[in-house]
Structure 1
Amino acid sequence: MQRVQRGPNKSKIRNAQRMSDIAPIPQHNAGFAPVERLGLSPASTNGSQASSPSQTPTGALRGRDEVDISEQALFLSRIRQAPAIRQALVDRVRSEIQAGTYESEAKVDQAAKRLAEELDLLG
């Protein structure tokens, strides 16, 4: 731990611990070549892919952006695009079900057929 006290006198360091002996990191001019990235294509200053190899003003190379969209995200996107719920129809059917007048053999058969088609069970 290092504490520095400042005041009218010179700064004093108390309880300073010495750092361990860590070898310095070599510089580029010390016989090592700079690291180069593979698979990157240069980008123009407007952010789009350049037609000829050139560097940005800072000398950096831009990579290609990619997005992977999961099946679940695609499904959620399709659900959001579904038509709105017809609340009046839902309310009418709900009241018929509560009154016991909604269900009939024809409606149950038709609902089962539509469900099977939707689940692709009937082919």
Structure 2
Amino acid sequence: MTLREIESSSMVVRWISNIDLLASVLLIHLVDIFKQGEEGSTRMKIVVDLNRCQSYGQCVFAAPNVFRFHGEESLEFDYAPDDQQRIQVERAAAACPVQAISIGRTPEAKEPTDHSAASGGGAC
């Protein structure tokens, strides 16, 4: 086997590995989409362990529309950003050196309905 053949075969292996990784990520997102359809409308929910956070600021660089500093070290963030921010938030969570960011899903709040008018009054 020549050096060129070895380099080509290792490139093929890396290419296949990248395809497998991409397929895994797509599968995770598809499962999330199907779960969302089954459970009703859900939103992304961010939780930051502020005891673990060391204010490195990698999240601020990765998702500036979601994470920001207030003052020198106080982290502020949108705990329920739009799903359009999901990729940036996932990158921010992955970039956190102390892994202080976790992402989940929460059901969207439905508009409350006023049943008192339909039942003929409110107070007893």
TM-score if structure 1 supplies the norm length? 0.24
Higher helix share: 2
Higher strand share: 2
Larger Rg: 1 or 2? 1
Relative CO higher for 1 or 2, CA cutoff 8 Å, sep ≥ 6? 2
TM-score if structure 2 supplies the norm length? 0.24
